[in-house]
Structure 1
């Protein structure tokens, strides 16, 4: 996936359209570029999985 695709995925994650983003080790640098430009990145939580895969979810505020 390219940076633009990850940017779109991050927006969908924030809106609740999708519940998670799975990032393979080979895609991490493209994801990282999109992540660093994402205005709500402090609410994106990554959880490491087996094989170097990281699953990202979005932390909703308690009032949401």
Structure 2
């Protein structure tokens, strides 16, 4: 099984080159380990999808 590089995926999500990031239930803990260390993690919003998938989008916070 190939490891997904969530650091790169989240960077692309924040830069806008990736419109959304879909995380399957079996990969959630690996995603969470990277996500929880981000300073702007509250801008990465998840939406529940089918079969336990979570669709993450970057929502820029207004200051």
- With structure 2 as the length reference, what TM-score do the two structures score? 0.87
Q: What's the counterpart of residue 48 of structure 2?
A: 48
Q: Alignment length, in residue pairs?
A: 62
Structure 2 stretches lacking a partner, 5+ long: none
The alignment's C-alpha RMSD in Å is 1.7
Partner residue of 1:10?
Answer: 10
Gaps of 5+ in 1: none
Q: Which runs of 4 or more aligned residues in structure 1 lie more than 6 Å from their structure 2 counterparts after TM superposition?
A: none
Report the TM-score when normalising by structure 1: 0.85
